[in-house]
């Protein structure tokens, strides 16, 4: 991924547009018609921005300038009069400065000439500190911090960032049941968008009750979202409701004196294309994969959001899973970066991200993951100062033992789980804290900051040592849940244990112990959210339990499908019945029936069945460890920054073709794998490695174990 | 000054509206038609705000709600549907929450009922951290920081803060000289506002060149401000130009084919009334006082700004003097608070205020001065966290000797003075730093923060000790200008020496030495700005040199009047001739001819001739030390928070009447002063003190020394 755009594009200060757009998006939530905003700090953009770049021209060139805001333009420090829309830059080397003020929207520019264009090569600052002394001389000791411009996909000068909205498509209902003044409309599956009323005539009120389930749409008292409209129209009128909503069903009620001819909707979506794919011999798994895709797409909007009915907010823990799924489906960098920027906000840090301690830690992890999957080191560099100040905040909140413990104002979330203790020093939080410190060390190294890399490494090592000395219970063969007042509890929960497996914090022997003592132990409190199922199943996959996990997927996600789910849920407890499934937070329809974290099979199938993941940044090197997990065959593609890795695999043959990077296929085989263009390395008993080069069709015959 | 408003008023988060308004105001500067913004960081408001207050009602009441932004309303935690404009609050004790999102303008509310009104008793936060767990229970360990609401004088629900603009009045020119297509229009004196063109007809261009001097208006190439307009109108049209400007003269040129019938202007002003006054037996001093008043009024706009032609920005050092003058003229708390908030901006601190080290220090001093003159301890409390983080920034930038030295990015300003060294550790900066630390100690005490009060006291004592051990030169009987690489220079400048006098850092003996060795020593570089003349003359007044200072005022300010000044200038050097006076910054008309700091006689005459100043906060106690300085008589009023102190004084009699506070009149008299209702205390040889109670007319006869 290049750090320079290929064409003229709208540019702005890194993170500012993302924060502005997330303010706009996250304040669209309503609950029963009432505005329902977030409860954490929302940040704001810099209103005044200086942009510059130096160009060398062979010939004088005309340059067109567009800006969002009031602006001036300087050539080599000398201002043009007014706000010029076209300037001529003479031949030679020249510096162009554009300074923009915009209060309501983010200062942004679009510059378009034959060779002079706005792109990420422009440098920006929010304080240029260029004063002049009494003689008119400009200050000569500058401490101005210049950063590279941020940009998106706004390549049209007449479509500036502030005007952006998601595209829409008309959708018609699949059934309508009329009953007097009431119509119950079914759009056939979970959907999202703007309801449209056609042919409204008369005077009166229209009540619209939205439902992800039929029961919800029929519940005037408990439906989570609704609209109430007053009309007075003597001619037929159409109306598109101003706020998009999530629903499958809509109940439209009219008072006497007003009628509505028909109802449709504008489906609103992020235009992000699929690059990855998965198909296999098991039709239920294929169905689960398809509904997962639909779920993830519905929850991928301006940002990766949690769910589409209720919060519609950007939550770090939820987004963390969407990023990982994204790498195996759309592999869209822009939505990842946008979400990471929006979550981080600005300094000063006054609370954990989303107020949740664990969510701060997921944010650190997400930055490094993004680097591994995209290779975008420019983003790491741009973000590093914000990583440092956020980590400073964490470090300032350690307790006397150097551990993270919930202080007033800190939400220790972990999972939605009945009776889960959040008191004291929770092992799960130390696990994520340790991994965050390791991430900081890695990012410090990418930034050539050896001093801090070393500092973070030592801090991480200290926490890791404490994780084992404080929490490992040799009888229980597991990390216990927490310490309270310095005393470790006897309670074992799954959280820290499963993360320790794919973080590779345990020895191979410990991993096997934990598999039995925790992961496959029914007496340890079960997980009921797809959110933590994600990590539980990942841990099992990391232990080679693909066959077991496949069955779990079929039971758990298949269970939702059997109940008629058209998208996956926030929480699923097979022991519940009927409309009980829709309740949460003490509200009959409080549960979200389309929650991003429900789509985790995308990630599991891509990473642990197709078995593809990067081993260095941007898939420069990667591994392929396919695992059929009992399937007869599977095939799919995994997207890489500039292409993809295509794979088909059955019990006897593997076909691979990649477009970039150096791959290492690792397979188990009773006999030596064979094929054209392959050289086989025997690693261990029956384990073989084959190097995969781009642009070559590999057909490898093997005999699976 | 009460911390509770008396009526319903628009309320917002402290500082946010001030920052928003200053962004708007400070980005109106143009230079020759080009947008010319500030070079420091402009901050931004919190876009999402939670407001609440608890009320107890005897009877149910209707309450009207207005908000700038999208909002919800909760009663005892339960939301009303939609955005209600009227709610009914039942009898009993109830909590009302209103949460507002507004991106483009500052979230603000206006609540009006019989007993329930929006005022500064409402509490606000930008992060309420009120999450709910999986059972629907709200978090019970809150760390939410609530602060009292800020407000201004927006008492009309239909005139919200974002719609505010200064009032205007039509003004006509006093003379017009026509010459072909060119008219030179004279408004008779320096003024400010929107030019109006009447009866425009035809097609063509109109060039408008503004001038504070006739020479500037006639200089197409060098005038600092101008407007160029294109018109195409077949009927007579009037036009008011969109940006207000400063000028006395305007040259209007039309191209052939277009005509303008006449020109007038809308004078734009802050509607802040005078409460103080001064008159005396010397007509030149009276004229200087009147022109000073006009100068200060012109530079008192939404904020106290520097000058009206050019910058029109909020500069801390300039504003500091306006505050002090304000206390003796308009005594308008709102403009002071608004300016202090705007200057401070928000965390994180990334630079000195206006990038200038000295200007950071003046900001600290201004907060405490405001407390002394207004008694507004609520403001000190609201501001204290911002004072602490700004001081943390300063403390983090001390050099190895614990002194403030210009680091890259720091502008060490001191004064506009040719050849003035800014290198190394400048004594003047340590002087202001020391005073800032003392101010912090005082404000910490007001905030019951004994630990920090002690810390700041010790830090101040350390700097004070170094000021004398490092900079005092016993031969020169003065503080030297600076140390470079640990070596004190031999150069004496006036700055630190004059501040040390009214800061009372010197012994009485040192003060007398400095008077001779520095203040009255012509071989020490002279001051040419009214800015530093302010402090130089203050130091002389503090030494009892009112007679000398009176003559200086007459020479210096009188000198500008003799040159035809109708407002006082940014800089005045009597040795210059003709249009040379208008040049600065290497530009022929670069100098501002209406600069707030030119108005300092208001302060000097009020504080050191009428001799009135508070000795405890809000004039609870105050002193009156009148000094005629050679005048035959003088009279005037000095405003106090809820009234004023009126004084008339000649060489034989003093009349005083005050409306609040406990005053101490201190006079020198050869004989014991006499009068009704007075009791006289002999303090020292010929020095007497008389206690002044409010509401009593004192007529005191004495025999001046």
> Exposed/middle/buried for A484, CB within 10 Å: 0-12, 13-18, 19+?
middle
Among the listed residues A271, A503, A537, the one whose alpha carbon sits nearest the alpha carbon of residue A368: A503
Is any Cβ of chain A less than 8 angstroms from the Cβ of B18?
no
Residue B703 has pLDDT above 60, yes or no: yes
Is any Cβ of chain B less than 8 angstroms from the Cβ of A241?
no
The segments of chain A whose pLDDT lies below 50 read: 1-5
Q: Contact, A100 vs A160, CB < 8 A?
A: no
**Residues A48, B70: C-beta atoms closer than 8 Å:** no
Residue B152 has pLDDT above 80, yes or no: yes
Which pLDDT value is given to residue B172?
Answer: 97
Contacts of B347 in chain A (CB under 8 A): 347-348
**Residues A134, B418: C-beta atoms closer than 8 Å:** yes
Helix, strand or coil, per DSSP, at residue A383: helix
Common-topology check for domains A11-163 and A612-701: no
- Which residues are bridge partners to B262 per DSSP? B198
Among the listed residues B410, B409, B463, the one whose alpha carbon sits nearest the alpha carbon of residue B436: B463
What CATH architecture applies to the domain A11-163? Sandwich (2.60)
Helix, strand or coil, per DSSP, at residue A681: strand
User: Out of A346-350, A585-589, B3-7, B534-538, which region has the weakest mean confidence (pLDDT)?
Assistant: B3-7
Report the distance separating Cα B241 and Cα B268, nearest Å.
Answer: 13
CATH number at B345-505: 1.50.10.10
Domain ranges of chain A: 11-163, 168-268, 345-493, 612-701
Contacts of A350 in chain B (CB under 8 A): 127
Q: Which CATH number fits domain B618-701: 1.10.287.70, 2.60.420.10, 1.10.10.10, 3.40.920.10?
A: 2.60.420.10
Neighbouring C-alpha atoms within 13 Å toward the C-beta of A639: 20
Average pLDDT, chain B: 95
To the nearest whole angstrom, how far is the Cα of A292 from the nearest Cα of chain B? 24
Report the distance separating Cα A174 and Cα B208, nearest Å.
Answer: 67
Q: Which CATH number fits domain A168-268: 3.40.50.300, 3.40.50.720, 2.60.120.260, 2.40.160.20?
A: 2.60.120.260
Report the distance separating Cα B590 and Cα B31, nearest Å.
Answer: 10
Q: Contact, A257 vs A203, CB < 8 A?
A: yes
pLDDT band at B4 (very low <50, low <70, confident <90, very high): very low
Contacts of A586 in chain B (CB under 8 A): 135-136
Among the listed residues B142, B163, B160, B115, the one whose alpha carbon sits nearest the alpha carbon of residue B12: B160
- Kindly give, in sequence order, each residue whose CB lies less than 8 Å from that of residue A210, ignoring residues fewer than 6 positions away: A195, A216, A217, A223, A224, A225, A226, A227, A245, A246, A247, A249, A250, A309
**Residues B41, A350: C-beta atoms closer than 8 Å:** no
The share of chain B scoring above pLDDT 70, in percent, equals 99
User: pLDDT digit string (tens) for B314-350?
Assistant: 999 999 999 999 999 999 999 999 999 999 999 999 9
Which pLDDT value is given to residue B5?
Answer: 40
**Residues A348, B350: C-beta atoms closer than 8 Å:** no
- Which residues are bridge partners to B398 per DSSP? B404
Which pLDDT value is given to residue B141?
Answer: 65
What CATH architecture applies to the domain A612-701? Sandwich (2.60)
Q: Contact, A339 vs A314, CB < 8 A?
A: yes
Contacts of B36 in chain A (CB under 8 A): 72, 79
Q: Which CATH number fits domain A345-493: 3.40.630.30, 1.20.58.220, 1.50.10.10, 1.10.260.40?
A: 1.50.10.10
As for the ipTM of the complex, it is 0.95
To the nearest whole angstrom, how far is the Cα of B257 from the nearest Cα of chain A? 24
Tell me which residues of chain A, numbers 559 to 578, contact chain B at a CB-CB cutoff of 8 Å. Answer: none
- Kindly give, in sequence order, each residue whose CB lies less than 8 Å from that of residue B94, ignoring residues fewer than 6 positions away: B54, B55, B56, B57, B75, B76
- C-alpha distances (whole Å) from A188 to each of A213, A219, A571, A578, B19 are 11, 19, 22, 19, 50
Helix (H) or strand (E) holding B378: helix B377-395
Tell me which residues of chain B, numbers 397 to 456, contact chain A at a CB-CB cutoff of 8 Å. Answer: 406-411, 416-418
- Kindly give, in sequence order, each residue whose CB lies less than 8 Å from that of residue B110, ignoring residues fewer than 6 positions away: B8, B9, B10, B11, B65, B66, B67, B118, B154, B157, B160
Tell me which residues of chain A, numbers 337 to 396, contact chain B at a CB-CB cutoff of 8 Å. Answer: 347-348, 350-351, 355-356
- Nearest Cα residue in chain A from B129: A39
To the nearest whole angstrom, how far is the Cα of B461 from the nearest Cα of chain A? 30
Among the listed residues B482, B540, B533, the one whose alpha carbon sits nearest the alpha carbon of residue B511: B540
**Residues B82, A228: C-beta atoms closer than 8 Å:** yes
User: pLDDT digit string (tens) for B238-267?
Assistant: 999 999 999 999 999 999 999 999 999 999
Which pLDDT value is given to residue B584?
Answer: 94
Packed helices A16-26 and A333-344: angle between N→C axes, nearest 10 degrees? 80
Contacts of B143 in chain A (CB under 8 A): 407-410
Report the distance separating Cα A597 and Cα A538, nearest Å.
Answer: 13
**Residues B47, A42: C-beta atoms closer than 8 Å:** yes
Which pLDDT value is given to residue B133?
Answer: 75
- Nearest Cα residue in chain B from A587: B136
User: pLDDT digit string (tens) for B272-282?
Assistant: 999 999 999 99
Nearest CB neighbour to B44, from listed A45, A355, A418 = A45
- Nearest Cα residue in chain A from B40: A127
Contacts of B416 in chain A (CB under 8 A): 134
- Give start and end residues of each alpha helix (H) in A545-612: 546-562, 601-604
Report the distance separating Cα A576 and Cα B357, nearest Å.
Answer: 67
Nearest CB neighbour to A81, from listed B32, B39, B406 = B32
CB–CB contacts below 8 A, A to B: 186
Question: Max alpha carbon distance in chain B (Å)?
Answer: 85
User: pLDDT digit string (tens) for B294-310?
Assistant: 999 999 999 999 999 99
Contacts of A81 in chain B (CB under 8 A): 32-34, 228
Residue B615 has pLDDT above 50, yes or no: yes
Buried b (16+ CB within 10 A) or exposed e, B117-148: bbbbebbbbbbbbbeebbeeeebeeeebeebb
Is any Cβ of chain B less than 8 angstroms from the Cβ of A139?
yes
Is any Cβ of chain B less than 8 angstroms from the Cβ of A132?
yes
Report the distance separating Cα B225 and Cα B212, nearest Å.
Answer: 10
Helix (H) or strand (E) holding B209: strand B182-211
Q: CA triplet A493, A499, A500: central angle to 5 degrees?
A: 95
Mean pLDDT, residues B398-417: 94
Compute CA A474 distance to the chain's CA centroid, rounded to the nearest angstrom: 37
Tell me which residues of chain A, numbers 61 to 120, contact chain B at a CB-CB cutoff of 8 Å. Answer: 70-72, 79-83, 99, 101, 103-105
To the nearest whole angstrom, how far is the Cα of A425 from the nearest Cα of chain B? 16
To the nearest whole angstrom, how far is the Cα of B267 from the nearest Cα of chain A? 24
Report the distance separating Cα A321 and Cα A570, nearest Å.
Answer: 13
To the nearest whole angstrom, how far is the Cα of A36 from the nearest Cα of chain B? 7
Residue B40 has pLDDT above 60, yes or no: yes
**Residues A136, B587: C-beta atoms closer than 8 Å:** yes
Helix, strand or coil, per DSSP, at residue B272: coil
* Beta strands B662-668 and B621-624, pairing class: parallel
**Residues B99, A37: C-beta atoms closer than 8 Å:** yes
Q: Contact, A190 vs A217, CB < 8 A?
A: no
Is any Cβ of chain A less than 8 angstroms from the Cβ of B207?
no
Helix (H) or strand (E) holding A22: helix A16-26
Mean pLDDT, residues B432-458: 98
- C-alpha distances (whole Å) from A556 to each of A431, A527, A542, A680 are 27, 11, 19, 39
- Which residues are bridge partners to B243 per DSSP? none
Which pLDDT value is given to residue B143?
Answer: 81
Q: HEC profile for B450-472?
A: HHHHHHHHHHHHHHHHHHHHHHE
Q: Which of A30, A85, A134, A591 would you mutate first to test chain B, the one with the most B CBs within 10 A? A: A134
Tell me which residues of chain A, numbers 257 to 316, contact chain B at a CB-CB cutoff of 8 Å. Answer: none
Mean pLDDT, residues B414-419: 92
**Residues B416, A134: C-beta atoms closer than 8 Å:** yes
């Amino acid at each position: 991924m290049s750090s320079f755009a290929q064409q003229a594009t709208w540019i702005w200060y890194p993170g500012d547009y993302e924060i502005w757009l997330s303010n706009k998006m996250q304040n669209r939530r309503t609950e029963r018609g009432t505005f329902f905003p977030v409860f954490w700090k929302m940040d704001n953009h810099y209103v005044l921005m200086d942009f510059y770049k130096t160009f060398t021209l062979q010939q004088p060139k005309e340059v067109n300038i567009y800006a969002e805001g009031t602006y001036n333009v300087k050539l080599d420090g000398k201002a043009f009069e007014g706000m010029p829309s076209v300037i001529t830059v003479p031949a030679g080397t020249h510096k162009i400065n554009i300074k923009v003020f915009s209060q309501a929207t983010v200062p942004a520019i679009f510059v378009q000439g034959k060779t002079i264009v706005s792109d990420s090569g422009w440098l920006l600052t929010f304080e240029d500190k260029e004063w002049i002394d009494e003689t008119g001389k400009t200050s000569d000791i500058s401490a101005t911090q210049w950063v590279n411009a941020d940009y998106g996909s706004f390549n049209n000068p007449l479509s500036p960032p502030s005007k952006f909205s998601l595209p829409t498509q008309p959708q018609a209902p699949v059934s309508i049941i009329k009953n007097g003044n009431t119509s119950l409309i079914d759009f056939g599956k979970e959907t999202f968008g703007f309801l449209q009323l056609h042919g409204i005539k008369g005077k009166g009120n229209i009540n619209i009750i939205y439902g992800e389930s039929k029961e919800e749409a029929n519940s005037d008292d408990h439906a989570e979202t609704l609209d109430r409209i007053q009309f007075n129209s003597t001619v037929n009128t159409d109306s598109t409701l101003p706020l998009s909503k999530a629903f499958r069903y809509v109940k439209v009620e009219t008072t006497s004196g007003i009628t509505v001819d028909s109802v449709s909707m504008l489906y609103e979506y992020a235009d992000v294309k699929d690059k990855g794919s998965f198909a296999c011999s098991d039709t239920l798994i294929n169905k689960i994969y398809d509904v997962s895709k639909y779920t993830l797409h519905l929850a991928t909007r301006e940002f990766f959001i949690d769910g589409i009915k209720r919060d519609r907010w950007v939550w770090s823990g939820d987004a963390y899973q969407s990023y990982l799924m994204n790498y195996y489906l759309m592999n869209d960098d822009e939505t990842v970066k946008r979400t990471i920027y929006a979550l981080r906000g600005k300094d000063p840090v006054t609370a954990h991200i989303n107020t949740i301690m664990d969510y701060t830690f997921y944010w650190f992890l997400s930055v490094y993951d993004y680097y591994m999957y995209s290779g975008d080191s420019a983003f790491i560099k741009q973000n590093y100062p914000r990583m440092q100040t956020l980590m400073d905040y964490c470090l300032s909140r350690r307790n006397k033992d150097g551990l993270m413990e919930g202080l007033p104002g800190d939400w220790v979330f972990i999972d939605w789980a009945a009776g889960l203790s959040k008191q004291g020093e929770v092992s799960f939080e130390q696990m994520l804290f340790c991994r965050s410190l390791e991430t900081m060390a890695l990012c410090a190294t990418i930034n050539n900051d050896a001093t801090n890399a070393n500092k973070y490494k030592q801090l991480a090592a200290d926490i890791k040592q404490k994780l084992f000395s404080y929490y490992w219970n040799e009888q229980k063969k597991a990390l216990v849940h927490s310490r309270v007042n310095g005393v470790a509890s006897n309670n074992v929960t799954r959280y820290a244990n499963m993360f320790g497996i794919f973080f590779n914090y345990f020895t191979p022997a410990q991993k096997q112990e934990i598999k039995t003592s925790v992961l496959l132990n029914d007496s340890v409190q079960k997980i009921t959210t797809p959110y933590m199922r994600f990590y539980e199943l990942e841990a099992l996959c990391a232990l080679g339990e693909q066959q077991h996990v496949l069955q779990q997927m079929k039971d758990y996600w298949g269970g939702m499908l059997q109940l008629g789910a058209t998208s996956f849920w926030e929480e699923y407890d097979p022991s519940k019945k009927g409309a009980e499934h829709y309740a949460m937070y003490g509200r009959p329809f409080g549960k979200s029936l389309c929650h991003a974290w429900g789509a985790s099979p995308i990630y599991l199938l891509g990473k642990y069945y197709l078995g593809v993941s990067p081993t260095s940044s941007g898939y420069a090197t990667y591994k392929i460890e396919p695992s059929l997990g009992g399937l007869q065959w599977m095939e799919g593609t995994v997207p890489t920054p500039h292409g993809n890795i295509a794979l088909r695999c059955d019990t006897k043959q593997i076909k691979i073709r990649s477009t970039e990077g150096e791959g290492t296929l690792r397979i188990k085989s009773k006999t030596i794998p064979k094929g054209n263009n392959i050289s086989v390395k025997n690693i261990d008993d029956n384990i073989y490695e084959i190097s995969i080069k781009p642009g070559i069709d590999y057909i490898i015959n093997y005999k699976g174990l």
